[in-house]
Amino acid sequence: MALLRAAFSSLLFSSAFALVQDLDDTFKDSRMEDVWLVDFYAPWCGYCKKLEPVWQEVGAELSRSGSPVRVGKMDATAYSGVASDFGVRGYPTIKLLKGDLAYNYKGPRTKDDIIEFANRVAGPAVRSLPSRQMFEHVLKRHSVCFLYVGGESPLKEKYTEVASELIVYTYFFSASEDVLPESVALHELPSVIVFKDGSYFTYDEYEDGSLSSWVNRERFQSYLPIDGFTLYELGDTGKLVAIAVTDEKDPTERSGRLKGLIQRVAAEHRDQFNRDFQFGHMDGNGYINSLIMGEVSVPSIIILNTSNEQYFLPAEPVEDLEQLLRFFSSVLDGSAPAFGGDGIFRKIKRVVYDARSTVMSVFRSSPLLGCFLFGLPLGVISLMCYGICTAESDDDTELMKRDSFTDEEEEGEEEEQPQLTAGAEGEEDEDGEKIQQKSTTEKKVD
Ligand SMILES: *[C@@H]1O[C@H](CO)[C@@H](O)[C@H](O)[C@H]1NC(C)=O
């Protein structure tokens, strides 16, 4: 009996390695009956290699928990046709494919985060909460919680539609009125409410615009710690992001004071600023500096417009709430000077900056490949230069030949550049250097 159990568990164990399926170009036709979580990777990409063991764990865990989600990986360079049909542009790209819908995963590449995403997106778009107990349980677990209250209605249809698209970001629930505690007083039914920041807010069609834009604006706590990933996600809300740049290890209270001031604006001046601002703090200025390609001091306050990469700095160090409120208002009414932006000069600067970090990241993730990619052309060029310089040069035809040589070489070099940048796109995403609004849900085209 023990022997049998041992044999059985070793069978289970060995099958754990096959829980991630290697996909090929037949995948497009065979995938429709199932929900698939797929890692599109490139064999040479460093971040893909880092994801590989995590991906095996994701496969094992989802299968162990009895999830209907099937896990696969596809070499996007070998099956580039299939990959581009799924809209894969960088590596690694993680997508959940559910019927005609394809959902992009943009969060941190850890087992728990990926599994949470898979379970959330694979499940129903709107989850119903049958009891007060369930409601309270859910409220405890989620810092931001959208809830539809009422029976069938056009609003519910709209809510379901919005949920099936924005489920990539957050959970959507529904309940009947008697599930809510007495402290929640609704003016009318049906209603859509969001619970967050220790309170709740009701969607108002006339004031808040479309339901999807409201959900998009409200899906974060008004104040939160911000890192590269969060900032990238916050960009999709279209809000300005007000950040206290702090040093968490700083023992003096200056950093803490700026955080406190921003928190007070978020909590006490919600009506005035919540629609346009997202608030938070970020530890250290390294990330911000690379983003604005400049220097901000620590501690300080900066407001970023992620849609056009402009930023605002207070004219003088912020000392009190009044000053901070004035700064926020001046950004809104356009009287504060904007820095950065995506003008033509800025774009050139960005290209240079990106090219430099691309080269750096290729070298960092794989020095051999870096030497090959950049060293080989350089070597060829120097050999040619050497050849040209040492050749006899008293003949005109010889000169012409040389000219054509150098031209060809330059063209060859220019072609290399975009290829490299495209290949490293996923890696730049990881660094979060690009803040671009990519639509996260895309209707799949078959
Ligand atoms: C932020 O950028 C968007 C897009 O360019 C622009 O429409 C908006 O006015 C900017 N906001 C501020 C406060 O400058």
Whole-number pLDDT of residue 162: 97
Active site residue 145: no
DSSP assignment string, 131-186: SHHHHHHHHHH-SSEEEEESSS-HHHHHHHHHHHHHTTT--EEEE-GGGS-TT---
Distance (Å, rounded) from C-alpha 155 to C-alpha 442? Answer: 23
pLDDT value at residue 79: 94
CA of 305 from ligand 1 middle (Å) equals 6
Q: Which of 273, 308, 309 to mutate to test the pocket of ligand 1 (most atoms within 8 A of CB)?
A: 308
Predicted confidence at residue 18, as pLDDT, reads: 58
Residue 308 CA, ligand 1 centroid: distance in Å: 7
Residue 236, number of CB atoms within 10 A of its CB? 20
**CA 336 – ligand 1 centroid, Å:** 12
**From atom 5 of ligand 1, which residue's Cα is the shortest distance away?**
308
The pLDDT of residue 351 is 74
| Three-class DSSP labels, 413-445 | HHHHHHHHHHHCHHHHHHHCCCCCCCCCEEECC
Ligand 1 binding pocket includes 308 (Cβ within 6 Å): yes
- DSSP 8-state symbol, 395: -
Q: Are strands 69-75 and 35-41 parallel, antiparallel or unpaired?
A: parallel
Q: Is 305 in the pocket of ligand 1 (CB under 6 A)?
A: yes
Which structural domains are found in the chain, ordered by start?
11-122 (3.40.30.10), 127-217 (3.40.30.10), 222-340 (3.40.30.10)
- Give CA–CA dist 164/246, Å, rounded: 37
Rounded CA-CA distance 291/303 in Å is 12
Alpha carbon of 198 to ligand 1 centroid (Å): 30
193, β-bridge pairs: 147, 202
Tens-digit pLDDT profile for the chain (446 aa)? 454 454 444 444 444 445 899 998 889 888 988 999 999 999 999 999 999 999 999 999 999 999 999 999 999 999 999 999 999 999 999 999 998 889 999 888 999 999 999 999 999 999 999 999 999 999 999 999 999 999 999 999 999 999 999 999 999 999 999 999 989 989 899 999 999 999 999 999 999 999 999 999 999 999 999 998 888 888 889 899 999 999 888 777 777 899 999 999 999 999 999 999 999 999 988 888 888 888 888 899 999 998 888 999 999 889 999 999 999 999 999 999 999 876 666 677 777 777 777 777 777 777 777 677 777 777 777 777 777 666 654 444 333 433 343 333 333 333 333 333 333 333 434 433 333 333 444 444 33
**Ligand 1 pocket residue status of 330, Cβ below 6 Å:** no
Nearest 5°: phi and psi at 441? -110, 130
- 48 belongs to the catalytic site: yes
Is any ligand 1 atom within 6 A of the Cβ of residue 307? Answer: yes
Helix, coil or strand: residue 200: strand
Probe ligand 1: pick from 237, 275, 276, 310, max atoms within 8 Å of CB?
A: 310
Q: Which residues contact 279 (CB under 8 A, 6 or more apart)?
A: 222, 223, 224, 241, 242, 243, 262, 263, 265, 266
Per-residue model confidence (pLDDT) at position 409: 36
CA 233 to chain centre: 5
Residue type for position 139: L
CA separation, residue 392 to residues 367, 383, 396 (Å): 38, 16, 11
Distance between CA atoms of 50 and 39, rounded to whole angstroms?
12
CA of 236 to the centre of ligand 1 (A): 13
Whether ligand 1 lies within 6 angstroms of the CB of 170 is answered as no
Q: Which atom of ligand 1 is nearest to the CA of 276?
A: 13
Compute how many other C-beta atoms are within 10 angstroms of the C-beta atom of residue 310: 20
